[in-house]
């Protein structure tokens, strides 16, 4: 999940279920994509790999449910750049270091407004 000290990034695909007024998205697969920015503070998904991955997700009859990337040196929340560059209506997962491990937090970004989404690691 990480390419520390560089930012890692990728897509999560799975199924989305609407039940009792709640949306529950369950990730089935996580697909890493090269960060062509090769940066510790920024990610730019390789567009060719991103397109290939989106086609794979579609042909597997799954939905794109999240975009993840890491912040090897924090913060544990989305950055201003993440908010302004958010292009997909999916959960944005940020991985950041926590003591000896990594933690994931999920955010919904809509019209530059951010709300945290509960993540459950199964």
Residue ranges that bind Zn ion, judged by CB under 5 A: 79, 82
Which lies closer to Zn ion via its Cβ, residue 62 or residue 67? 67
Which lies closer to Zn ion via its Cβ, residue 82 or residue 109? 82
Q: Which residue's beta carbon is nearest to the bound Zn ion?
A: 82
Q: What angle do CA 82, 87, 88 make, to 5 degrees?
A: 110
- Closest approach of Zn ion to the CB of residue 42, in Å: 7
The candidate with the shortest Cα–Cα distance to 3, out of 42, 35, 47, is 35
Q: Where are the alpha helices (H) located in the chain, listed in sequence order?
A: 47-59, 80-85
Quote the tokens at residue 5.
């000290």
Q: In terms of DSSP bridges, do strands 91-98 and 63-70 run parallel, antiparallel, or are they unpaired?
A: parallel
Which lies closer to Zn ion via its Cβ, residue 4 or residue 79? 79
| CA gap 104, 120 in Å, rounded | 10
- Closest approach of Zn ion to the CB of residue 118, in Å: 20
| CA gap 66, 93 in Å, rounded | 7
- Closest approach of Zn ion to the CB of residue 16, in Å: 24
Which lies closer to Zn ion via its Cβ, residue 5 or residue 16? 5
- Closest approach of Zn ion to the CB of residue 12, in Å: 16
């Amino acid at each position: 999940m990480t390419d520390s000290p560089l930012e890692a990034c990728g897509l999560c695909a799975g199924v989305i279920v609407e039940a009792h007024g709640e949306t529950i998205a369950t990730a089935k697969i996580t697909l890493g994509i090269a960060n062509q920015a090769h940066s510790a503070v920024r990610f730019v998904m390789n567009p060719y790999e991103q397109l290939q991955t989106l086609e794979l997700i579609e042909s597997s009859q799954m939905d794109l449910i999240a975009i993840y990337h890491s912040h090897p040196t924090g913060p544990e929340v989305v950055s201003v750049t993440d908010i302004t560059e958010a292009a997909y209506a999916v959960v944005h997962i940020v991985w950041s270091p926590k003591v000896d491990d990594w933690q994931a937090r999920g955010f919904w970004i809509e019209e530059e407004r951010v709300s945290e989404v509960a993540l459950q690691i199964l």
